[in-house]
Amino acid sequence: MRIGVPKEIKPQENRIGLTPASVKTLVSEGHEVLVEDNGGFEAGFENDQFIKAGAKIAKDAADIFNDSEIIVKVKEPQKVEVDMIRENQIIYTYLHLAAARGLTEGLVKSKSINIAYETITDDNGRLPLLAPMSAVAGRMSVQAGAHCLEKNQRGRGVLLGGAPGGEPANVLILGGGVVGENAAAIATGMQAKVHIVDKSESRLKQLVEIFGEKIIPEQSDKIDLKKLVAEADLIVGGVLVPGAEAPKLVTKNMLKLMKRGSVIVDVAIDQGGCVETSKPTTFNHPTFIVDNVVHYCVANMPGGVPRTSTIALNKATLPYLIKLANKGYQKALDEDKNFLAGLNVHKGHVTYKAVADVFGYEYVNPRDAIKN
């Protein structure tokens, strides 16, 4: 198959869909790979590295979309890219459709085949292609939050780990999944006081086994969330409902309880955010203030460390891409129910129920869809 890798064009998105090492593997399997000129430059991958791996360099995105059977990206297609997608073309990337009505409509209209990294599962119900970027975002969230707490960033002027004679900051992590665990790793390493809220008692026990007395586990149905929010210096929102819009756990009214200059880092912003007052921001303008609370809502946080993120992401995405290219999408998806869970939009039909429900589309079972 001919696989195309366009340069990412979302603001401050510097990752790329494939590394030179991944290209080499795909070429060795008999596939042709097209990479847009300087597509990997910001992630530290030069054109010469891709050429040496066996790729051909395309002058622009139009050539990539015109000449490729599979498009491999990192972030969801932007409007100009959606307009270039061809009927029956396979799009393999993060989509986050439940928070993107316009994109969903565009992909339905294109009659393309859209496989979302974030809804592919494994046998334990986990999300193996989302996990590496969730880990990066979780770690970055605390770094970003610590910076935003500085007075020159309009924060409270507190050091996350405190200092001799001073108390450490209170960190409240909403969600004990991959984001939450990795946020806790950094926050506890910085010696902050860390509360982790999750609905699963068994997951909280796992986190206690990992972090011991460095964290305070809080089961969501047994706590006063308003009290925890009021006491927090930094809140990290890491709640995920696979493929669906994130629940709004922190309401606008709760913000009035928070300390002046406290910080919210809403990692769930890709799925609409778990804080009512959140809205997507960029690395150029990462924060805004509501009710004296600093909000950091960068929608592509791992894009800030593009080399680390691209390498980590490729380790997860490449095995599925090889199946897709070697077998064709129908056989690859039909043989693997976990891979099939990644099919969100297929030839004009919505095949992921959470997306169909939120936007009022008729839901088509993905297994039925791929037979056509």
Query: Which of the residues are catalytic?
Result: 96, 270
E-state strands within the chain:
2-5, 32-36, 56-58, 70-72, 90-93, 113-116, 170-174, 193-198, 215-219, 234-237, 263-266, 287-290, 293-296, 343-346, 349-350
Supply the DSSP symbol for 298.
B
Angle at 264 between CA 260 and CA 269, to 5 degrees: 150
Residue 164 Cα distances to 98, 139, 148, 186, angstroms:
46, 25, 22, 20
Q: Are 57 and 26 in contact (CB under 8 A)?
A: no
Q: Are strands 70-72 and 56-58 parallel, antiparallel or unpaired?
A: unpaired
Full DSSP string of 105-164? HHHHHHT-EEEEGGG---TTS--TTTHHHHHHHHHHHHHHHHHHTSGGGTS----TT-BT
Sign of CA dihedral 261, 262, 264, 265: positive
